[in-house]
Amino acid sequence: MIPPKPAARPERVSLWRYMRLFRQDILSAQPARLYSAWMAEFRTPFFRSYLVNDPALVDLVLKERPDDFPKSGRVSEGLSPLLGESVFLTNGATWKRQRRIIDPAFDGGRLRETFPAMWDAAEAAAARLAARAGDTVEIEAETSHAAADVIFRTLFSIPIEDRIATRVFREFRAYQRSQPILNAAAFLRLPRWVPRGHRGGTRRAARAIRALLAELTAGRMQAIAAGEAPDDLATKIMTTCDPETGETFTEAEMVDQVAIFFLAGHETSASALAWALYLMAAFPDWQDKVAEEARAHLAPDFACVSRLRVARDVFRETLRLYPPVPMMVREATRPEHFRGRDVAPGAQIVLSPWHQHRHTRLWDDPDGFDPARWETEEGRASARVAYMPFSAGSRVCTGAGFAMMEGVLLLSRLLRDVRVELADRPPPVPVAHLTVRARDGIWLRVRRRD
Ligand code: HEM
């Protein structure tokens, strides 16, 4: 099937089979009915979880009463060796304070200031890809490289060729292979005595990455003190005071935040851009439109991004079909009543962009690739109730505006110079690793565009 969709599991399987499927991949571990259900309950001997697709329930959890549905500790268990007390994992007062300091760095005005660094990264990525013309390329590796470059340039004003940046990037690849973003524990709560632990490789890679990020942060602290720091995202975040307490982040707190910016900021964008390029190879008419638009409007000027409308619709449609963060998990803290069922405190609430974006009752032609839907009233109406690649409500992705600018700009810039074509291989199979990736990579033939 093009665009590819993972096969669903049979409706009824044993708990042990389910757990085994989960270890392989959470997308294919789910039954097909989740694409048409408003809610599904999963019962295990230990606890219950509820996957909610009903837009009213999603709104309740994410927008109306987010404080009653904190992030589930089961997800943080897996990521804490790398992320420590970062804004991605914390809850309550700590999380609110962290957002007060971080959010100003990502507001609209700052985004404009970030543009030149992003543009340089796009130029570098385009040059790397053009140099591969004639080759069949594993495109996820290219987009990871590009997205890591974007994040280092915008955060620390250093390109990926920098000594520390290169090492972080390399260590991170080892880490991402060993740690899924959602593990079985999120759905299948296991008693505390079941050993799960972090694999040795995961811990080692996390330690190595954090040591490198600590080196960068310490260097920046000194530069700020000496009045010599560049005006980038790191400086902005490290010098912003919490409006309520007047305090800034300590150096240790900043390392946690840098870790999440690097992780959330590059893994997700790399996944989205790789799927976007795959879709462009599969739908060459759309690719030609993006390239034509790039030739007409692309310029090293922030204002050009708003003129790249085709690239924007293609990128939005990519995020619909392949949301990099396929599911999010929250925990009920008080008794709830969802669609006629009692939900007990401690139950896991799973919000699934993956299923909502392909829901048969919420989208027309849900599995089809159709960027034109974003210009129709019907498409926009679906998006208003069933589109959340960046989550929603107060915990919405901090980098949403940043990521949209990055995705549109890079897609447009890459396709201005090169054409991508499907390689002679079976279609990629989407699986959920840290983000939605292709099981055996995404292989595309690269040609120079004349
Ligand atoms: C296409 C790219 C991206 C996608 C699809 C994406 C998606 C998401 C989603 C779904 C969440 C919520 C996760 C949850 O609630 O469990 C999230 C949170 C977050 N994202 Fe992104 N993201 C992207 C890019 C970025 C970038 C570029 C940055 C920073 C430079 C970033 C920083 C963050 C942070 C800090 C959080 C945690 C927010 C909080 O919990 O308060 N993301 N992202």
- What pLDDT score was predicted for residue 82? 85
**Structure tokens of 303?**
């204002």
CA gap 450, 436 in Å, rounded: 33
At residue 446, what are phi and psi to the nearest 5 degrees? -110, 130
Q: For residue 120, how many other CB atoms are within 10 A of its CB?
A: 16
- What pLDDT score was predicted for residue 197? 47
Average pLDDT of the residues in 174-180: 66
Which whole-number Å values give the CA distances from 144 to 4, 148, 268, 349, in the listed order?
21, 6, 9, 30
Q: Give the position, in ligand 1's atom list, of the atom nearest the Cα of 324.
A: 5
First to last CA, the chain: 31
| pLDDT beyond 60 at 189 | no
Sorted by sequence, the CB contacts under 8 Å of residue 119 that are 6+ apart come out as 300, 409
The pLDDT tens digits of the residues spanning 255-282 come to 999 998 988 888 899 999 999 999 999 9
| pLDDT beyond 70 at 183 | no
Sorted by sequence, the CB contacts under 8 Å of residue 247 that are 6+ apart come out as 241
Q: How far is the CA of 400 from the centre of ligand 1 (A)?
A: 7
Average pLDDT of the residues in 108-124: 93
Q: Which is nearest to 168 in space by CA: 118, 216, 96, 99?
A: 216
Residue nearest to atom 31 of ligand 1 (CA): 399
Residue ranges lining ligand 1, Cβ < 6 Å: 87-88, 99, 260-261, 264-265, 268-269, 272, 324-325, 328, 389-391, 395, 397-399, 402-403, 407
Lowest-pLDDT range of 18-32, 107-121, 165-179, 371-385 = 18-32
Spatial contact of 75 and 325, defined as CB atoms under 8 Å apart: no
Give 191's pLDDT tier (boundaries 50, 70, 90).
Answer: very low
Three-state secondary structure of the chain = CCCCCCCCECCCCCHHHHHHHHHHCCCCCCEHHHHCCCEEEEECCCCEEEEECCHHHHHHHHHHCHHHCCECHHHHHHHHHHHCCCCCCCCHHHHHHHHHHHHHHHCHHHHHHHHHHHHHHHHHHHHHHHCCCCCEEEHHHHHHHHHHHHHHHHHHCCCCCCHHHHHHHHHHHHHHHHCCCCCHHHHCCCCCCCCCCCCHHHHHHHHHHHHHHHHHHHHHHHHHHCCCCCCCHHHHHHHCCCCCCCCCCCHHHHHHHHHHHHHHHHHHHHHHHHHHHHHHHHCHHHHHHHHHHHHHHCCCCHHHHHHCHHHHHHHHHHHHHCCCCCCEEEECCCCEEECCEEECCCCEEEECHHHHHCCCCCCCCCCCCCHHHHHCHHHHHHHHHHCCCCCCHHHCCCCHHHHHHHHHHHHHHHHHHEEEEECCCCCCCEEECCCEEECCCCEEEEEECC
Instruction: Give me the residue label for tokens 């030149």.
Output: 116
Q: Which is nearest to 94 in space by CA: 250, 297, 299?
A: 250
- What pLDDT score was predicted for residue 193? 43
- What pLDDT score was predicted for residue 199? 58
**Best residue for ligand 1 mutational test, from 106, 150, 319, 397 (most atoms within 8 Å of Cβ):** 397
At residue 61, what are phi and psi to the nearest 5 degrees? -70, -45
Q: Which is nearest to 369 in space by CA: 308, 307, 430, 322?
A: 322
CA torsion 216-218-221-226 (nearest 10°) is: -100
Q: Give the position, in ligand 1's atom list, of the atom nearest the Cα of 435.
A: 5
Spatial contact of 46 and 191, defined as CB atoms under 8 Å apart: yes
**Best residue for ligand 1 mutational test, from 268, 322, 394 (most atoms within 8 Å of Cβ):** 268
Give 27's pLDDT tier (boundaries 50, 70, 90).
Answer: confident
Give 6's pLDDT tier (boundaries 50, 70, 90).
Answer: confident
- What pLDDT score was predicted for residue 19? 64
The pLDDT tens digits of the residues spanning 209-230 come to 999 999 999 999 999 999 999 9
Average pLDDT of the residues in 232-239: 95
At residue 73, what are phi and psi to the nearest 5 degrees? -60, -20
- What pLDDT score was predicted for residue 147? 96
CA gap 366, 38 in Å, rounded: 15
CA gap 80, 85 in Å, rounded: 7
- What pLDDT score was predicted for residue 179? 58
Average pLDDT of the residues in 177-197: 50
Average pLDDT of the residues in 395-411: 97
Q: How far is the CA of 225 from the centre of ligand 1 (A)?
A: 30
CA gap 349, 11 in Å, rounded: 20
- What pLDDT score was predicted for residue 195? 42
CA gap 25, 184 in Å, rounded: 9
| pLDDT beyond 60 at 24 | yes
The pLDDT tens digits of the residues spanning 277-319 come to 999 999 999 999 999 999 999 999 999 999 999 999 999 999 9
Q: Could you give the percent of the chain with pLDDT greater than 90?
A: 72
Give 18's pLDDT tier (boundaries 50, 70, 90).
Answer: low
**Structure tokens of 39?**
């809610």
At residue 65, what are phi and psi to the nearest 5 degrees? -130, 55
Sorted by sequence, the CB contacts under 8 Å of residue 437 that are 6+ apart come out as 140, 271, 274, 430, 431
- What pLDDT score was predicted for residue 192? 44
Q: How far is the CA of 411 from the centre of ligand 1 (A)?
A: 20
Kind of pairing between the strands at 136-138 and 443-448: antiparallel
Q: How far is the CA of 398 from the centre of ligand 1 (A)?
A: 6
Q: Which residue has the higher pLDDT, 285 or 173?
A: 285
| pLDDT beyond 70 at 53 | yes
- What pLDDT score was predicted for residue 310? 98
Average pLDDT of the residues in 66-83: 82
| pLDDT beyond 80 at 395 | yes
| pLDDT beyond 70 at 194 | no
Spatial contact of 49 and 42, defined as CB atoms under 8 Å apart: yes
What is the residue-averaged pLDDT of the chain? Answer: 90
The pLDDT tens digits of the residues spanning 310-363 come to 999 999 999 999 999 999 989 999 999 999 999 999 999 999 999 999 999 999
